[in-house]
Amino acid sequence: MNRIAIIGQSAFGAEVASEISKIENVKIVGIITPSNQDKDPLYQYGIKEKLNVLRFSKLKSKEAINIFLELNVDLLVMAYVTDIVPLEIINNPSKGTIQYHPSLLPAHRGPSSINWAVINGDKKTGITIFWPDEGLDTGPILLQEEVEISNHDTTGSLYFNKLFPVGVDSMIKSIKLVLKNKAPKIKQNEKNATYESWCS
């Protein structure tokens, strides 16, 4: 039985968790969501399914790290994470840690990648599932899927109609590749890297 933990939030995190629960030979041993967000969909999903739901104000805290290490995780899935996850957690699972990012890395690294793709007039964007490391969205790429940006797309329509469903599907594909020991690690091309901060 493969032991999976999920760090995340929002409807995206909840949908990923729901789809993970359908994979054979997988047990969700922990769902970690932001503290003080009782209405968060991932938190609500974990409570409804009677899963081990954990909440920490900071994942870098000794408490969070120690409790995570006790979970004996095979694969950590990061689905919509806004907190900084320390390397003590990222490097602990036996099969590694994978993360969702809503751009075609190394383009649009940073917290507002969807916004900047629209603002810059990009004709395409996509999602990346990657292996996080000590940098910000810099780890090796596991899988990417491209989507078109239409002239009518807003940040909301681009996310909810395209990047959200493609992201969930890609996360599940990636998990299955990892569990079969067939997941690639493709180094990002730093020559093509761009970074934008929060969109104000």
41 shares its domain with 19 = yes
Which tens digits make up the pLDDT trace of 49-103?
A: 999 999 998 999 999 999 999 999 999 999 999 889 999 999 999 999 999 999 9
Using CA atoms, how far residue 186 sits from 70, 144, 148, in Å, is 30, 11, 23
Q: How confident is the model at residue 200 (pLDDT cuts 50, 70, 90)?
A: low
Find, among 98, 109, 100, the residue nearest to 80 by Cα.
Answer: 100
11 shares its domain with 103 = no
What residues make up the domain containing 199? 99-200
**Reduced to 3 states, what is the DSSP secondary structure of residue 65?**
helix
Pairing state between β 97-101 and 124-130: antiparallel
**Res. 36: pLDDT tops 90:** no
Which tens digits make up the pLDDT trace of 125-179?
A: 999 999 999 999 999 999 999 999 999 999 999 999 999 999 999 999 999 999 9
**Reduced to 3 states, what is the DSSP secondary structure of residue 40?**
coil
d(CA 3, CA 93): 9
**Reduced to 3 states, what is the DSSP secondary structure of residue 29?**
strand
State the pLDDT at residue 82. Answer: 86
CATH of the domain at 172: 3.40.50.170
Question: How many domains is the chain partitioned into structurally?
Answer: 2
103 shares its domain with 199 = yes
Taking residue 25's Cβ as centre, other Cβ atoms within 10 Å add up to 7
Question: Whole-model pTM?
Answer: 0.96
> 95, 126, 152 — which closes off a domain?
95
23 shares its domain with 85 = yes
> 95, 123, 150 — which closes off a domain?
95
CA angle, 147 then 120 then 84, to 5°: 75
54 shares its domain with 8 = yes
7 shares its domain with 89 = yes
- Going by C-beta distance under 8 Å and a sequence separation of 6 or more, which residues neighbour residue 189? 106
31 shares its domain with 85 = yes
77 shares its domain with 59 = yes
81 shares its domain with 158 = no
Which tens digits make up the pLDDT trace of 118-132?
A: 999 999 999 999 999
Is residue 182 exposed (0-12), middle (13-18) or buried (19+ Cβ within 10 Å)? exposed
- Going by C-beta distance under 8 Å and a sequence separation of 6 or more, which residues neighbour residue 54? 30, 31, 32, 33, 64, 67, 68
